Structure 1
């Protein structure tokens, strides 16, 4: 997938999306500073989204928080290009302390390695990436239409 749409308006991604069976390593930033995917052990789901203060991204991140409570054997990581401050404010407003949310704004490693990035608007696309304990991509699902929620049924099937 090299294109995404927002309300049917096409946008080019930064390149061809990363593929299954690829090792994904990256650093990002969280409220404590530098955050590294390699510090997280076990199976992981990365939930990527464009902007936390929008309706669909809000719903997606709250759904991920719910799934994290239901599937304790999986680490759920939400990532966007929002600033850490904006992410923290959102979590505080929603009362979600258990959400692992990181920012790709400073280091830009996630967007560079996955190409799940829309340069024209400086946002990530929407979707999920499932990693095994070695950080090898097992599944990837990126939305073509960003104004729609991702496929939670597919995600639930993957993690069972």
Structure 2
């Protein structure tokens, strides 16, 4: 379990992120067309997992916009934006913003992604939502970088995640 804060108040997560060098856990998430997607669907590509509580908050929306902009310049890389938001909300947000370089995925059905990656909040006002994390996975499915943002309202370290891609 990890401890992060929401405006200074401690919140615990269900576990810890996968270790760098380990195989990334597979998952089943739902895209905006209500299709099931798994990590293996992106095999052979570098993958950034941009994980957050809800696209309906300012910081989460900013992370999706930022990675959308950066993704347009990355070769052989997919950016997966993952939350427990309904696929409809994710689709509406990306459509309204004109964001087409990221893939929105939802863990709304059973929360198995959050459990497998150890990042569900177990207490506090955001209980059951995902903590703000970045996980970078190389073409072979190995974790090459992780970040669990210690203060939920803060943005992730985009540069560090993008640098990890370049070093794969």
Match of 2:131 in 1: 125
Corresponding residue to 2:73 among 62, 70, 75: 70
Does the 8 A contact of 2:48 with 2:134 survive in 1?
yes
Shift in Å, 1:31: 2.0
Instruction: Please give the TM-score of this superposition, normalised by the length of structure 1.
Output: 0.93
Tell me the TM-score normalised to structure 2 length. 0.89
Instruction: Answer yes or no: is 1:9 the counterpart of 2:9.
Output: yes
Match of 2:82 in 1: 79
Aligned residue in 2 for 1:46: 49
Give the Cα separation in 2 of the matches to 1:147 and 1:117.
16
Q: Which of 137, 162, 168 lines up with 1:156 in the alignment? A: 162
Segments of structure 2 that go 5 or more residues without pairing to the other structure are none
CA distance in 1, matches of 2:102, 2:162: 18
Shift of 1:39: 0.9
Counterpart-to-counterpart distance in 1, 2:131 and 2:60: 11
Q: Say whether the 8 Å CA contact 1:117–1:123 is kept in structure 2.
A: yes
1: CA distance, partners of 2:111 / 2:83: 10
RMSD of aligned alpha carbons: 1.4
User: Deviation string for 1:99-138 (max 9, x for gaps)?
Assistant: 2010011132211111111133221111210111221111
Report the Cα distance in structure 1 between the residues aligned to 2:156 and 2:84, rounded to whole angstroms.
18
Larger strand share, 1 or 2? 1
Query: Does the 8 A contact of 2:46 with 2:78 survive in 1?
Result: yes
